[in-house]
Amino acid sequence: MRRFTPAVLAALTLTTALTAVPAAQAHDGGSPALGIAACTATGCHFDVPPGTYDVKVLLGGEAASSTVIGGETRRSLLPETPVPAGEHLARGFTVNVRTPEGEPTGVDGTPGLDLVLGGSAPALADIRVTPARHARQVFLVGDSTVCDQPGDPYSGWGQQLPQYLRKGVSVANHADSGESTVTYLGNPRLWATVQPRIHRGDLVLIQLAHNDKTTDEATYRANLEALVAGAREKGGEPVLVTPIVRRWFNADGTLNNGTALLVNGLGVDHPAVVRSVAQARDVPLIDLTAKTRTLVESLGVEGSKALYLYTEKRDNTHTSVHGATVYAGLVRDELVAQRLVPEGLVRVG
């Protein structure tokens, strides 16, 4: 995904003017949606309370254009979308608005819905925001490799996942930096906040392992089972996700079986336990450890650096925007392959 720069944002042209309605009216089922009058040359702000919203945009104009839309805490909501000169293209997505808007234990952020407009030649012709009536939520329970990272150059794969989903499916990313299965269950701002929000049919993707460095196997297994049971209690569908690998190579070009593949100091093989719980509890499994291992080893020592923050931070655990986007694509592929999200609600390009 292309990063937003001041020069790119300044190039935005608003080609249509609509009348925005007051925020109080926007939630009356018979009232008009908020529109393009809430936008400037760099983005849009809608004064709406926490909730889930459908966003419909019309892109394009007289000149050829290419537009990216992000929102809230650096979430990617619509990938780079080109439109030929003289044409318009309609697109839609569903976005979760909450407080805090990024990491659950972080700062509150700006109230309402904020969208950022970018791309190589952005052009927004129209936009409408309405409360989502029948959206399905994809809740994310995870750590810093999943969360909505507040600052560049960091990005979690959950931050990039929304761009792969169409209107009707919203990502509610409740992943938080530094959390283990122990702390996620114990902090009232985390699982105790997430579980009551789960409704029947919602997905709950659970990836916790990186910070369970001192968690014994019995406790780790029990914690995963508690998260699975808690999601099912609310009618949600839990999905266990093995953790992304760390970029630690052996001399032969393979990843280290301990550090890279998440075996903790007590000898607990986290991915193996996740796979075991998924099988025992009949839970769908996204084996992101296996998929990211295959990808990282195929790219090799040098090629895999771009997936992580090695160049910027000498960091072999946290992903760059590019890496997070690639890893989110792996998750998207599994959601479709396992029929967890209908193919028609997923962007494949």
Q: pLDDT digits over 37-51, tens only? A: 999 988 999 999 999
pLDDT at residue 69 greater than cutoff 90: yes
How many Cα atoms sit within 13 Å of 185 on the Cβ side?
19
Predicted local distance difference test score (pLDDT) of residue 34: 85
Enclosing H/E stretch for 59: strand 51-61
Domain with CATH 2.60.120.260 in the chain: 13-131
Question: Which residue type occupies 85?
Answer: A
pLDDT tens for 232-247 read: 999 999 999 999 999 9
Predicted local distance difference test score (pLDDT) of residue 16: 33
Domain with CATH 3.40.50.1110 in the chain: 136-345
Nearest CA among 259, 190, 253, 258 for reference residue 223: 190
Enclosing H/E stretch for 93: strand 87-97
Taking a C-beta distance cutoff of 8 angstroms, is the pair 33, 130 a contact? yes
What is the CATH number assigned to the segment(s) 13-131? 2.60.120.260
If one counts every other C-beta atom within 10 angstroms of the C-beta of residue 86, the result is 10
Whether CATH 1.10.10.10 fits 136-345: no
pLDDT at residue 309 greater than cutoff 70: yes
Question: What tokens were used for 335?
Answer: 């959601």
Question: Which residues 6+ apart lie within 8 Å of 272 measured at CB?
Answer: none
Question: What tokens were used for 130?
Answer: 């309405």
